[in-house]
Structure 1
Amino acid sequence: MLATHRIAAGVALAAACSAALAGCGTGDGAHTRGTGSREGAYGAKEAVPAPAPKRAVRLIGDGSTAYTGPQPARPGQPRPERLGPGRKPPQFVVFSWDGAGEDSQKLFSHFREVAKANNATMTYFLSGVYMLPGEKRELYRPPRHEPGRSDIGFNDVRGVSDTVAQLRGAWLEGNEVGTHFNGHFCGPDGGVGEWSVADWKSEIAQAKAFVKSWKTNTGLADQEPLPFDYERELVGGRTPCLEGQENFMQAARELGFRYDTSGVTDQVWPRKKNGLWDLSMQLVPVPGRAFETLTMDYNFYANQSGARAGAPARHAYWGRQFRDGLLKGFERAFHGNRAPLIIGNHFESWNGGAYMRAVEDTIKTVCTKAEVRCVSFRELADWLDAQDPETLDRLRTLKVGQAPREGWTAFLTGGPAPAPKGVPGAPAAGQ
């Protein structure tokens, strides 16, 4: 069941929505592998490396979650450091997923592998009701709605198990688990745009509770816990349909969140809003059209085929249009102001999977480039927090696609760029 936005940017646009999980996966949840010797060539015994020391586990509550220490970093991921004087900022790209859950399409597990293969980490915005089986639906008390109501449905036990397995693996690989909240209510008559600060606090508390009690609610007591304390790990989210941002941000700030990504903005450097980093969705070109739309699969889907299944003969073209729009946004940032590029998606196969293929092509194209960091929202917030506020203020003076006229060295030092060594008086090399 889909919900839509009402956002205008040149034409009326539809924006982010979650769809109900399309079924349950066929995986078997957590997997273990045995250790010991294995037969090598000609029957010789190969030595098997000793397994890595196990992380200490401190179970929380019913054992659905556990504190296992700091999150492992992606191999080779640089620590957030203050940008040195005159240094060009890296190009950050954030790929994120609304309502993340593993279903029969197995897109969650697929994009985990795509991320690992292309030096990327991502943010998965989990819908809490995907951790709650339908027979326990009455446990959900949505603000301004009857108990057990959800516009995106609930999961089943197998689906919860499969989703837990993906969340566990994703976190251990350095990805972030954020929240897309629960029932995904949009529009009038109790939609999130009408919710009070107290309503948001209730919704957030329930989203956490479903993650922290999935074993009790499913009866899967023997499965491994999620390896993180969700109270510590949950630091940001995206509201359904990008509605209700103002009251959500107030609630989120009081609950210790660090960022929000529920707004709409241009490709410029972010700033804090109400105490949180405002890492809003962005507008990028729609190739062949005279307007821009959000960096999200659903928005291109809405503009191309009215958020309905379109003619199969058009699927490939629409996928290329989405990919090329994202790449145009990337190129104007990379060669311009270096503002972080924010991209949002859903694990959906709209128009024959055209948007999933486009996102995968984009990941493979941009995340392997020098000077590019494909990171989670949490990692981006860490980097922003490490910067000199004056440097960030200066970066915010650059408009969409605008590179510093005097070059990056002069722009971020306040003085002229140095001449190349050994050539007195020669002009500075281009930045």
Structure 2
Amino acid sequence: MSSLVRAGAIAAFVSSSTLALAEPGQSFVKSADPQYVLISFDNSNGIAEWKRSRALADMTGARFTYFLSCVFLIPRDRRASYDPPSLPAGKSNIGFAPSRDDIAERLTQIWGARNEGHEIGSHACGHFDGKDWSKADWMSEFRSFRTTLANAYEANGLGGEPAGWRDFANFGIKGFRAPYLSTGPGLYHALAAKGLAYDASGVSREPQQPDRSGTVARFALPQIPEGPKERRVLAMDYNLFVRHSGGSERVDEGAVFEDRAYSAFMRALDKEMAGERRPLQLGFHFTMMNGGAYWRALERFAAEACIRPDVACITYSDYLGRTETAIADGDVGG
């Protein structure tokens, strides 16, 4: 099924529902105590995936968190402007932007998503394993991220910088996810020093409430039952990719991978709704693994789950804001 046909099918599904958007781009009316779902994307590089995810959000009322890698705001001919910790300038594990035109379009997508109520978070810059980095190393990486984002228009000779862009870049980034989910003491010291509100780099056996005991709230991606034997796997597309095909690209014959992923997402949601009502976190990348099987599973999941009046698919920061009072009052459900 082509992406256009699939998008049309999702739109038809939503429009045929008894629920309706208040107006385009707004969330569905929700219950006072919904089941929360937090859907995120790491790296956030591909323009096609920006458009596809924003279209899905518009159709379903979901709001996503995009953890951005700053190297995709630096063209290859300016790569030496990025100086990663303990490595030569211009190094990156995930490359750089192919052109300034590509960066201009990405900036348009970032600003558009932000204005639609999505969240832009940090995935650092060069996608390095920083588990052994010191606080100073991480502070340097965070400075690179902030400077690259704030100066993205000017440094690349691009016009049309939106009013408020630099305030957004300097003060609007509240969350972080570490590349490879690799963390260490240096990271947590730096996160607190930079005033970030949360880290989404943890891993847990099952969905759980974020740990709010410190200055920085800590979220953990859950391991959820998957497949015929219901073995647990991290609720992220890459881990499903490794589970299903050993990390090698394969044709998804009969949509087997897609169906397994979709079923795992729905079972995890149903379990929380019938039980402890902890937030369900699902992680993705701007990569079409196994022919896009996991994006198709996400689209089916969002089209069914996110439109429910008792489910709210929201950003990490929105979740913290909505539940802060409940936590203070001792009500940790949802």
Residue 160 of structure 2 is aligned to residue 216 of structure 1? no
Say if 2:133 and 2:184, in contact at 8 Å, map to a contact too: no
Q: Secondary structure at the match of 2:201?
A: coil
Separation of aligned partners in 1, 2:29 and 2:143: 33
Residue 176 (structure 2) aligns with: 237
Q: Spell out, residue by residue over 1:183-202, the C-alpha distance to the aligned partner (whole angstroms, 9 max, x if none).
A: 1113xxxxx11111111111
Q: Spell out, residue by residue over 1:60-103, the C-alpha distance to the aligned partner (whole angstroms, 9 max, x if none).
A: xxxxxxxxxxxxxx635789xxxxxxx98320001110011233
Separation of aligned partners in 2, 1:76 and 1:300: 29
Residue 120 (structure 2) aligns with: 177
Residue 21 (structure 1) aligns with: none
- Shift, 1:138, TM fit: 0.7
Residue 3 (structure 2) aligns with: none
Residue 71 of structure 2 is aligned to residue 129 of structure 1? yes
Q: Secondary structure at the match of 1:184?
A: coil
Please report the RMSD computed on the Cα atoms of aligned residues, expressed in angstroms.
2.2
In structure 2, the CA distance between the partners of 1:315 and 1:251, relative to structure 1 (3 Å rule), is farther
The match for 1:320 among 253, 259, 263 is 259
Say if 2:252 and 2:290, in contact at 8 Å, map to a contact too: no
Residue 308 of structure 2 is aligned to residue 366 of structure 1? no
In structure 2, the CA distance between the partners of 1:280 and 1:388, relative to structure 1 (3 Å rule), is closer
Q: Secondary structure at the match of 2:258?
A: helix
Separation of aligned partners in 2, 1:78 and 1:370: 6
Residue 300 (structure 1) aligns with: 240
Q: Secondary structure at the match of 1:281?
A: strand
- Shift, 1:292, TM fit: 0.5
Say if 1:315 and 1:351, in contact at 8 Å, map to a contact too: no
Separation of aligned partners in 2, 1:199 and 1:273: 25
Residue 278 (structure 1) aligns with: 218
The match for 1:259 among 192, 198, 209 is 198
Say if 1:249 and 1:274, in contact at 8 Å, map to a contact too: no
- Larger Rg belongs to: 1
In structure 2, the CA distance between the partners of 1:224 and 1:271, relative to structure 1 (3 Å rule), is closer
- Shift, 1:306, TM fit: 1.2
In structure 2, the CA distance between the partners of 1:342 and 1:388, relative to structure 1 (3 Å rule), is closer
Sequence identity, in percent? 27
TM-score by length of 1: 0.68
Residue 30 of structure 2 is aligned to residue 75 of structure 1? no
Separation of aligned partners in 1, 2:330 and 2:307: 26
Q: Secondary structure at the match of 2:217?
A: strand
- Shift, 1:130, TM fit: 0.6
Separation of aligned partners in 2, 1:119 and 1:375: 9
Number of residue equivalences: 308
Residue 40 of structure 2 is aligned to residue 96 of structure 1? yes
Q: Spell out, residue by residue over 1:411-430, the C-alpha distance to the aligned partner (whole angstroms, 9 max, x if none).
A: xxxxxxxxxxxxxxxxxxxx
Residue 58 of structure 2 is aligned to residue 116 of structure 1? yes
Q: Secondary structure at the match of 1:280?
A: strand
In structure 2, the CA distance between the partners of 1:116 and 1:88, relative to structure 1 (3 Å rule), is closer
Q: Secondary structure at the match of 2:187?
A: helix
Separation of aligned partners in 2, 1:202 and 1:392: 38
The match for 1:291 among 185, 206, 231 is 231
* Structure 1 gaps, min length 5: 1-73, 80-86, 187-191, 397-431
Q: Which amino acid is the alignment partner of residue 93 of structure 1?
A: V
In structure 2, the CA distance between the partners of 1:271 and 1:390, relative to structure 1 (3 Å rule), is farther
* Structure 2 gaps, min length 5: 1-24
Residue 248 (structure 1) aligns with: 187
Say if 2:200 and 2:218, in contact at 8 Å, map to a contact too: yes
Say if 2:150 and 2:170, in contact at 8 Å, map to a contact too: no
Separation of aligned partners in 1, 2:239 and 2:259: 14
TM-score by length of 2: 0.86
Q: Secondary structure at the match of 1:261?
A: strand
Say if 1:268 and 1:337, in contact at 8 Å, map to a contact too: no
Residue 111 (structure 2) aligns with: 168
